[in-house]
Amino acid sequence: MVDAAYGEAVPESAAERLRPPSLLLALTEGRALAELAASLAALPCLMSAPRGDGHPVLVLPGFLASDRSTAPMRRYLKDLGYQAHGWGQGQNLGRFYKMREILARHLRDLHQQSGRKVSVVGWSMGGVFARYLALTQPDAVRGVVTLGSPFAVDIHASNASKLYNALSNEGPARPEDLSALAGDLPVPNTSIYSKLDGIVNWRTTIPRPAPNAEAIEVRLASHVGLGVNPAALWALADRLAQPEGAFKPFARKGPFALAYGR
């Protein structure tokens, strides 16, 4: 196995060694409020981000969150000209095997109503659903952007895994499903992550190397704040602005260049 973030070899048993972020790091997640404030202050700058063709975008919230959590992100995307949609399912309580079919129908409806492929943006657990939709409905999905989403190596290396298992009431995920989610996607896909994520181990957010896959590190970002972090929003806008069917790696430049890792 190869660590996509560094190109270094990682033993196949790496999943057994992964641990959730430390309690100390988890306690720093309150910095998300500062990230939101920074985005509000940087809004004029954020509005100069690359603009795309106004295609539909489906935004999926993280575990225990709802469309309310993604409202700032969707507002930003609408201001950039996109048709940004929430998931419309209330609070995300996990339940992968139940919700994936509901979301598949929602995606098909958006695709048919607009007559265009849909970009799917998923925050945390929402990104796991986003990758599933891309795998199963590539004709309806234009591309995928995940933010702090645990889909690789060991998805249980999270401080939310025990609560997820208790609330989802679905039992452990099937190994073949985990393997598929961690594998290659048929559409362009970007993972935006932070090494200071206090909820999920950042190594679980890195896609394996592929011509249409990439990972963008946002330095100092929190897990809870990734969806409102100004550097993450700029990167998201840049990725959505790519022409349909095209993929070019993210260029770490612009007003937030210093916020991106290598």
The pLDDT tens digits of the residues spanning 97-139 come to 999 999 999 999 999 999 999 999 999 999 999 999 999 999 9
Burial of 118 per CB tally in 10 Å (0-12, 13-18, 19+) = buried
In degrees to the nearest 10, what's the CA dihedral of 199, 201, 203, 206?
-20
Predicted confidence (pLDDT) per residue in 216-252, tens digit:
999 999 999 999 999 999 999 999 999 999 999 999 9
Which pLDDT belongs to residue 16? 56
Q: Which residues pair with 56 in a beta bridge?
A: 83
Percent of the chain with pLDDT over 70: 94
Cα Rg, the chain, nearest whole Å: 17
pTM for the model = 0.93
